[in-house]
Amino acid sequence: MRRNFTSTEESTSQRYRRLVINNPTRKLVDKLVQNVISEKLAKKDLSELHDIVKDMEELPLD
């Protein structure tokens, strides 16, 4: 199911661009997180990957 956004709302990808891509510190953190996730997937260490994702969900985005 797709949502239609009004001009005052922003999509997840727009929010991601605003918070991560336009912020050098967040961009670096995002790259490091993606590297760790790639490394964990390569090692098939999914239990630790699950913990990382759970920790990330608790981080504030603003």
How many C-beta atoms surround the C-beta of residue 42 within 10 A? 8
Q: What is the pLDDT of residue 8?
A: 64
The Cα 11–Cα 4 span in angstroms is 9
Identify whether the C-beta of residue 56 lies closer than 8 Å to the C-beta of residue 33. Answer: yes
Report residue 62's pLDDT band, with 50, 70 and 90 as the boundaries: low
Q: What is the pLDDT of residue 11?
A: 81
Q: What is the pLDDT of residue 9?
A: 74
Q: What is the pLDDT of residue 3?
A: 58
pLDDT digits (tens, 9 = 90+) for 2-61: 555 555 677 877 777 777 667 777 778 888 888 888 887 777 666 777 777 788 777 776
